[in-house]
Amino acid sequence: MAKAKKSVFFCQNCGHEESKWLGQCPMCKEWNSFVEECVTTSKTAAVKAAKEIHIVPLSEVKTENEERVTTEIKELDRVLGGGIVPGSLILVGGDPGIGKSTLLLQVCQKLAKKERKVLYISGEESLRQIKLRAQRMGEFNDHLLLLCETNLELIRNVIEKEKPDTVIIDSIQTMYSEEVGSAPGSVSQVREATNTLMQLAKGLGISIFIVGHVTKEGTVAGPRVLEHMVDTVLYFEGDRHASYRILRGVKNRFGSTNEIGVFEMRRDGLREVENPSEFMLNGRPENASGSVVACSMEGTRPILLEIQALVCESNFGMPRRTAAGTDYNRVNLLMAVLEKRIGYHLGNYDAYVNIAGGIKINEPAIDLGIVMAIVSSYKNRPFDERTIVFGEVGLSGEVRAVNMPEQRVAEAKKLGFETCIVPEVSLDSVKSIGGIKIIGVKSINEAIGLIE
């Protein structure tokens, strides 16, 4: 076997490989993303014999219903689809200090109490630092093993020798392989480390959690192929200075995507928020214009949230528009619909739209809530505090149907709301729900008429 070194260029955004430097990546169209790295290539004449390759018909493949391992943290189990699947590779990303290591150490605590062997591998913290953090969370037993190492070959030997049930890697950007000549955290190293851990997870049936740093855009640092290689991708959202954290599943091969879990950061670690809707609506102002409660579906969970809008006359020639927690372009589109279809002259007004609580929502079902909040602030008329709205708004001003209206209305009823404004085409789906007044609207003109 002969080894040769050569220099190649990798795109830091998507991992695309080229033999020379390019200003723009031909795959992801990102500018100035190529970096030069030295790679080692191996040339071998050994080829697997054809008799070693086994082709199996689909009908002969046996499937076993393996039981998921619950972490006893209900919010995390919900995002994972019911628990940890043995042999899965899970990527956890988030801003620095948001609680990734804290949550995973709590997972270690719960699994160790169930007498499952857990190996926590840290490349960023010392054993003493991990111990200090663990002391704030409570008692740990001897089923939790600690290792501070960044050499991938040594880590692989330890995992194959100890054969733990669960492994935590904190973080993937600190791991390096001696066979790859580039620095730790580079495209080649991250890809090699993830590939090695994937082989260990599938080959030994070990569940592996990987902590990944994020870029300023909020995505996991390193090549995009990292997210394609793992089974599940979880993102921590929320302001690190706020008390709550939101764990969102953006990819899950063993469950539904876009599920969220809500946690509250305390001194002794992260604590679950069992009723996120009530948590998000705490501190709502009374009889204030521009405040409307809408309902969004996060995976299979309905969440009630407060949409705030502030519309005031602009002192400059160009009005200012700001959106926090929702799509800025969507807010501009809805204001254009109000100008064209309703006749409101908003071209001389500044508009500020905010999703209270810091949660980020892009679901079209909150369109009607944004429209009602803008109109309420524009007319300076408070919206009914015991009423919620949901529905998608089209360019013609029509209110279109959204998915799962029954769950949305049921959540509003559970929290004591008295009226629900829904798309008229969804009335047949929710008419069986009693104890709450349901009003169907065809257009935003009808909805606006309810507050005039």
CATH number at residue 266: 3.40.50.300
Look up residue 308 and give its two tokens: 């705030």
- DSSP assignment of 243-283 equals SEEEEEEEEETTS-SS-EEEEEEETTEEEE-S-HHHHHTTT
Same domain for 286 and 220? no
Maximum mean pLDDT: which of 138-152, 169-183, 208-222: 138-152
Same domain for 295 and 255? no
Same domain for 38 and 164? no
* Percent of the chain predicted with pLDDT > 90: 60
Same domain for 422 and 370? yes
d(CA 216, CA 234): 17
Confidence of residue 3 (pLDDT cuts 50, 70, 90): low
**Mean pLDDT, the chain, as a whole number?**
88
Strands 232-237 and 89-93: parallel
Same domain for 359 and 258? no
**Model confidence over 358-403: pLDDT tens digits?**
788 989 999 999 999 999 999 999 999 999 999 999 999 999 999 9
56 located within any domain: no
* Domain that residue 33 falls in: 2-43
With beta carbons less than 8 A apart as the criterion, state whether 271 and 279 touch: no
> Which of 251, 274, 297 lies at the terminal end of a domain, its last residue?
274
**94: annotated binding-site residue?**
yes
d(CA 325, CA 150): 37
What is the helix (H) or strand (E) element at residue 208, kind and residue range?
strand 207-212
**101: annotated binding-site residue?**
yes
**99: annotated binding-site residue?**
yes
Check residue 47 and give its pLDDT. 46
Same domain for 241 and 93? yes
Q: Give the residue with greater pLDDT, 425 vs 242.
A: 425
Check residue 50 and give its pLDDT. 45
Check residue 49 and give its pLDDT. 45
Same domain for 292 and 232? no
Mean pLDDT of 338-354: 94
**317: annotated binding-site residue?**
no
Q: What is the largest CA-CA distance in the chain?
A: 81
**Model confidence over 275-284: pLDDT tens digits?**
889 888 888 8
d(CA 187, CA 181): 11
> Which of 216, 247, 274 lies at the terminal end of a domain, its last residue?
274
- What are the distances in angstroms from CA 46 to CA 2, 3, 179? 12, 14, 20
Check residue 4 and give its pLDDT. 59
**Model confidence over 87-99: pLDDT tens digits?**
999 999 888 888 8
Q: For 235, phi and psi rounded to 5 degrees?
A: -120, 135
Check residue 52 and give its pLDDT. 66
**Model confidence over 96-121: pLDDT tens digits?**
888 899 999 999 999 999 999 999 99
Same domain for 112 and 213? yes
52 located within any domain: no
- DSSP assignment of 373-428 equals HHHHHHHT-PPPTTEEE--EE-TTSBEE--S-HHHHHHHHHHTT--EEEEEGGGHH
48 located within any domain: no
Same domain for 437 and 348? yes
Same domain for 18 and 163? no
Predicted structure pTM score: 0.81
Check residue 218 and give its pLDDT. 56
49 located within any domain: no
Position 349 pLDDT exceeds 50: yes
Number of structural domains in the chain: 3
Look up residue 302 and give its two tokens: 């309905």
**130: annotated binding-site residue?**
no
Q: Find the CATH number of the domain harbouring 308.
A: 3.30.230.10
51 located within any domain: no
d(CA 259, CA 296): 12
With beta carbons less than 8 A apart as the criterion, state whether 59 and 46 touch: no
The count of other CB atoms within 10 Å of the CB of residue 268 is 11
**Model confidence over 21-57: pLDDT tens digits?**
999 988 888 898 888 877 665 544 444 444 467 788 9
Same domain for 340 and 407? yes
**451: annotated binding-site residue?**
no
**364: annotated binding-site residue?**
no
* Percent of the chain predicted with pLDDT > 70: 92
55 located within any domain: no
Same domain for 269 and 122? yes
Cα–Cα nearest to 327, from 292, 300, 366: 366
- What are the distances in angstroms from CA 345 to CA 157, 290, 314, 341, 397? 69, 17, 12, 11, 16
329 located within any domain: yes
337 located within any domain: yes
**Model confidence over 269-303: pLDDT tens digits?**
899 998 889 888 888 888 899 999 999 998 888 99
